[in-house]
Amino acid sequence: MAKILCVLYPDPEVGYPPEYARDDIPTIASYANGQKAPVTDDIGFRPGELVGCVSGELGLRPYLESLGHELIVTSDKDGPNSEFERHLPDAEIVISQPFWPAYLTPDRIARAKKLKLAITAGIGSDHVDLAAATKNNITVAEVTGSNSISVAEHVVMMVLSLVRNYLPSHEYARNGGWNIADCVSRSYDVEGMKFGTIAAGRIGLAVLRRLKPFGLDLHYTDPHRLAPEIEKELGLTYHPEPHSLIQTMDIVNLQMPLYPSTEHFFNDELFSQMKRGAYLVNTARGKLVDRDAVVRALESGQLAGYAGDVWYPQPAPADHPWRTMPWNGMTPHISGTSLSAQARYAAGTLEILKWFFEKKPIPEVYFIAHEGKLAGAGAHAYKLT
Ligand code: NAD
């Protein structure tokens, strides 16, 4: 029987289960590219329930225990004395969410002698050292597509809130103020602005589609060029490399995966090449940008605003400068774990477990690494260096 070690974020401080605002969520049967969403027939929860936290257990316990497997669920993931470290040497499967990542470093992978499968409940598997995983023949799988629209909606929200100065104006209203001039002296319309996304994969493309009706001039860069009909439909300008895009955009969206050569992609040098007063939105990964360079760019006015939900490390320490830097619209890492997204990635995690235990093939699109190399979605999006 297998030990499955599942790391989830802590329960709500108000207690579990929380009081839900709504009674149901829409059923999404398939995604924009035709890929079928995970089946939710026999999941161990009602779609719309909070399953991403420890007590929610992604609804996995009934299935795993019916087969006699041992399921350990914990949020205690960091440090040598953590629950995670204690169970890792016996675990055959590790499940982790990017929102509360259980970092699978080369050292930890070396100690995880029985580990065969690392599942990302969500999207983005950079918390797993992919070079070490491939070297040790560990399969890395994620629930591709499960929260792409959740994140795309968040990006659109952040673009609008930054450019229109929504958050500071809301604070004015909350605090009893009414100085309209103070609120609007940093408020603009997005209409007519140049918007560019660095990476136009599932999320980047969904953002472009959603911004099209706002009348923006849309640009993108990505090593994989989109189909000509999509470029035509959305009126896209393609940049074969990121620099020409970065230099001319009013708003930049960062959506590429984190791997060794994209770490600290945005640094002082790149910020200095942007238009003064540009906005940057990053829901991809915190480490894609140099932490202190963002602060400097906001303080000098080179950037007019920065918003995102991804940090490094996670959870972010209480004194992380992104919490307090000027003109930021940061949230904790939440965009991909709305209750709607959880229903899909929890169901997808169950599907992956079933395929694994029933020795059925896992669909290629769910692989990041398999049989000692990058595979599936991972081979498309990541590099090992
Ligand atoms: P995807 O695999 O569909 O697309 C990734 C795209 O990045 C691909 O088109 C690839 O060609 C492109 N790319 C790779 N290297 C690049 C580079 N150097 N420059 C420009 N483009 C490059 O992935 P996705 O579903 O769109 O997700 C993208 C990323 O968003 C994930 O890797 C993850 O880090 C992040 N994400 C965050 C959340 C969240 O909750 N904030 C949720 C899901 C995904």
For ligand 1, atom 42: residue with the closest CA: 336
284 lines ligand 1 (CB under 6 A): yes
3 state DSSP class of 83: helix
| Residue spans per domain, the chain | 3-147+337-376, 148-323
Q: How confident is the model at residue 39 (pLDDT cuts 50, 70, 90)?
A: confident
The pLDDT value recorded for residue 8 is: 98
Give the distance (Å) from ligand 1 centre to CA of residue 222: 10
| 158 closest CA partner among 309, 322, 284, 288 | 309
Report DSSP letters for 2-70, one per residue: -EEEEE-BPPPTT-SSPPPS-S------B-TTSPBPPP-TT-SS-TTS--SBGGGGGG-HHHHHHTT-E
CATH architecture of the domain with range 3-147+337-376: 3-Layer(aba) Sandwich (3.40)
Whether 61 is catalytic is: no
> Would you say the C-alpha torsion 281, 159, 97, 102 has a positive or negative sign?
positive
Instruction: Name the pTM for this structure.
Output: 0.98
Check whether 370 has a pLDDT greater than 90: yes
- Domain 3-147+337-376 matches domain 148-323 at the CATH topology level: yes
Residue of the CA atom closest to atom 2 of ligand 1: 381
Q: Which of 97, 147, 328, 342 is catalytic?
A: 147
- Give 247-283 pLDDT, tens digit per residue: 999 999 999 999 999 999 999 999 999 999 999 999 9
Distance between CA atoms of 75 and 60, rounded to whole angstroms? 16
Token readout for 270 is 């790149």
Judge whether 314 counts as a catalytic residue.
Answer: yes
Query: SS in 3 state form for 263-320?
Result: CCCECHHHHHHCCCCEEEEECCCHHHECHHHHHHHHHHCCEEEEEECCCCCCCCCCCC
For residue 76, name the pLDDT band (cuts at 50, 70, 90).
very high
Q: Whose CA is nearest to atom 30 of ligand 1?
A: 284
Query: Of all atoms in ligand 1, which is nearest to the CA of residue 148?
Result: 25
Supply the DSSP symbol for 250. Answer: S
Name the CATH superfamily, with its identifier, for domain 148-323.
Answer: NAD(P)-binding Rossmann-like Domain (3.40.50.720)
**Catalytic residue status for 69:** no
137 is catalytic: no
- pLDDT attached to residue 40: 73
Q: Is 338 in the pocket of ligand 1 (CB under 6 A)?
A: no
Query: 338 pLDDT band (50/70/90 cuts)?
Result: very high
| CA pair distance 51, 63, nearest whole angstrom | 15
Q: Which CA distances in Å does 178 have to 172, 174, 210, 309? A: 7, 10, 32, 29
The CA radius of gyration of the chain, in Å to the nearest whole number, is: 21
> Token match 């029987």: residue?
1
Helix (H) or strand (E) holding 139: strand 139-142
Q: Can you state the angle between helices 202-211 and 148-163, rounded to 10 degrees?
A: 50
Q: Supply the pLDDT for residue 41.
A: 82
The Cα 98–Cα 147 span in angstroms is 12
For ligand 1, whether the C-beta of 262 sits within 6 Å is yes
Number of the ligand 1 atom closest to the C-alpha atom of 221? 20
